[in-house]
C-alpha cells in the first residue's frame, strides 16, 4: 500500500505476539490507539499518570475487545523520577518491546515548573518522552523491526526552538510553549531515526499527528477553545474537528503499516490536515534542520541526564 493511500482501522495487521506501550492511554487519542492495537492482538501497556483512570481504560478495552491483553503502568512524564521508575518496571516485566507510542502530552495555560525545574509543557511533551524512550531503548532494540512513534501536531508549523530561553523564563505564552514542544517532537524523531540508521538498527522512529481531534486535551484551555471542541457543536465543526477514533488512525498507521519507513510523518489528508484519512504528510522545513536537531538532542541529554547508547544495535539502555 502506498503511503499516500488512505488507511482504515481494517488495514491494521495482525499483532499477536507484539508488545506495545502507549503513553497517555487512559483517554482520547491514547485510549483509541491502545484499543485498536489490543483489538488486533497486541499486548498493550497503558502508561498513565493516574492509576484509577488507567485501570478504567483497561477495563473499557477488555470490554470492547474480549480477550485483550492489557496492563497498566504509572508514568508521569513531567517527573524524571517517575520516568525512571516506569522504565525500570518495564525492564522487570518484559524482555523486549515491539512498539512505543509517545502519545501523552499537554498544554498549560498558566506558567508552571516541574519538580526537575523544567517548564511543564516542554517537560511533558518533549523532555519526558525523550528520557523515557532512551531508558527503554534497549527493549526496543532487542525486538527487530520495532518502532517508536511520537505524536506531534499541526501546531508544529508555528513552532520555533528558543535555545536561549527553552523554559520561557522571560515571558510565557502557552501557545508558543506548545508549538515549540510539538516541533521538538518532530526534530527528536528525525534525529533519532538518523542515529538508529547509522547504528545499523532495524528499529525505526516515525511521527504522526491527529489533525484537530475532539478529545479531553482542551479541558484546560481557554473557554473559546473548549466551546469549539464541544461535542454539541459537532454538526457545525465537522470540517474543523474529527472524532478521537479518526485522530488515532495516523498514529496506528505509523505504528503498524508494514510499508511505513523510518523518518516518515503521518496525518489526515483533508484541508490543512485538520481532518481526513491518514496518509504520509510533510512537516515544515525548519523541522529538518539537522544542526538544530543535534543541538536539541544534546540539550535534552544534558537536562534529563539520559544518554542514548546506539554504537551497537543491541545492549545497554540509557543511563
Q: What is the pLDDT of residues 99-158, one digit of tens each?
A: 999 999 999 899 999 999 999 999 999 999 999 999 999 999 999 999 999 999 999 999
Joined grid coordinates for residue 232: 454539541
| Measured distance between the N- and C-terminal CA atoms of the chain, rounded to whole angstroms | 39
Confidence of residue 18 (pLDDT cuts 50, 70, 90): very high
How far apart are alpha carbons 259 and 78 in whole angstroms? 34
Q: Is 178 among the residues known to form the active site?
A: yes
Say which DSSP state 113 is in: B
For residue 285, count other CB atoms closer than 10 A to its CB: 7
Q: What is the pLDDT of residues 182-191, one digit of tens each?
A: 999 999 999 9
- Cα 77 to Cα 8, 83, 102, 104, 119: the distances in Å are 30, 6, 10, 8, 12
How far apart are alpha carbons 80 and 59 in whole angstroms? 28
Taking the whole predicted model, whether its pTM rises above 0.85 is answered as yes
pLDDT score recorded for residue 213 = 81
More confidently predicted of 194 and 314: 194
pLDDT score recorded for residue 241 = 82
Q: Which fold has domain 9-304?
A: Rossmann fold (3.40.50)
Question: Given a cut of 80, is residue 6 above it in pLDDT?
Answer: no
* Mean per-residue pLDDT, 239-244: 78
Domain residue spans in the chain?
9-304
Burial class for 157, CB neighbours closer than 10 Å (0-12, 13-18, 19+): middle
How far apart are alpha carbons 309 and 318 in whole angstroms? 6
Burial class for 116, CB neighbours closer than 10 Å (0-12, 13-18, 19+): middle
Q: What is the pLDDT of residues 263-272, one digit of tens each?
A: 999 999 989 9
Q: What is the pLDDT of residues 212-236, one digit of tens each?
A: 987 655 545 454 554 444 455 444 4
Q: What is the pLDDT of residues 57-94, one digit of tens each?
A: 999 999 999 899 999 999 999 999 999 999 999 999 99
Contact at 8 Å (CB) between 165 and 117? Answer: no
More confidently predicted of 6 and 291: 291
Confidence of residue 309 (pLDDT cuts 50, 70, 90): confident
- Positive or negative, the CA dihedral 106, 108, 111, 112 is negative
Q: Which among 186, 201, 197 is positioned nearest to 266, based on CA atoms?
A: 186
- Select which of 94, 178, 190, 266 is catalytic: 178
Amino acid at each position: 500500500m502506498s503511503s499516500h493511500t488512505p488507511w482504515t482501522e481494517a488495514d491494521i495487521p495482525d499483532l499477536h505476539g507484539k508488545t506495545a506501550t502507549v503513553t497517555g492511554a487512559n483517554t482520547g487519542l491514547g485510549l483509541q490507539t491502545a484499543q485498536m492495537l489490543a483489538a488486533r492482538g497486541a499486548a498493550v501497556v497503558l502508561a498513565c499518570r493516574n492509576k484509577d483512570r488507567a485501570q478504567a481504560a483497561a477495563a473499557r478495552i477488555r470490554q470492547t475487545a474480549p480477550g485483550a491483553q492489557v496492563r497498566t503502568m504509572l508514568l508521569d512524564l513531567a517527573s524524571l523520577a517517575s520516568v525512571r521508575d516506569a522504565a525500570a518496571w518495564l525492564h522487570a516485566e518484559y524482555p523486549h518491546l515491539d512498539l512505543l507510542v509517545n502519545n501523552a502530552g499537554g498544554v498549560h495555560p498558566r506558567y508552571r515548573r516541574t519538580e526537575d525545574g523544567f517548564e511543564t509543557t516542554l517537560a511533558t511533551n518533549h523532555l519526558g518522552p525523550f528520557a523515557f524512550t532512551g531508558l527503554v531503548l534497549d527493549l526496543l532494540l532487542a525486538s527487530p523491526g520495532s518502532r517508536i512513534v511520537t505524536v506531534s501536531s499541526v501546531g508544529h508549523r508555528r513552532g520555533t526552538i528558543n535555545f536561549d530561553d527553552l523554559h520561557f523564563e522571560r515571558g510565557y505564552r502557552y501557545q508558543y510553549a506548545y508549538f515549540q514542544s510539538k516541533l521538538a517532537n518532530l526534530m527528536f524523531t528525525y534525529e533519532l531515526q538518523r542515529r538508529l540508521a547509522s547504528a545499523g538498527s532495524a528499529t525505526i522512529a516515525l511521527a504522526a499527528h491527529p489533525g484537530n481531534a475532539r478529545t479531553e486535551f482542551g479541558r484546560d484551555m481557554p473557554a473559546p477553545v473548549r466551546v469549539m471542541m464541544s461535542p454539541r457543536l459537532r454538526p457545525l465543526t465537522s470540517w474543523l474537528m474529527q472524532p478521537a477514533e479518526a485522530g488515532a488512525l495516523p498514529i496506528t498507521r505509523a505504528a503498524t503499516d508494514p510499508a511505513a519507513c523510518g523518518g516518515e510523518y503521518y496525518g489526515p489528508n483533508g484541508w490543512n490536515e485538520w481532518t481526513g484519512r491518514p496518509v504520509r504528510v510533510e512537516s515544515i522545513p525548519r523541522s529538518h534542520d539537522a544542526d538544530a536537531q543535534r543541538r536539541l538532542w544534546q540539550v535534552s541529554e544534558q537536562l534529563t541526564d539520559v544518554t542514548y547508547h546506539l554504537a551497537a544495535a543491541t545492549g545497554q539502555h540509557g543511563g
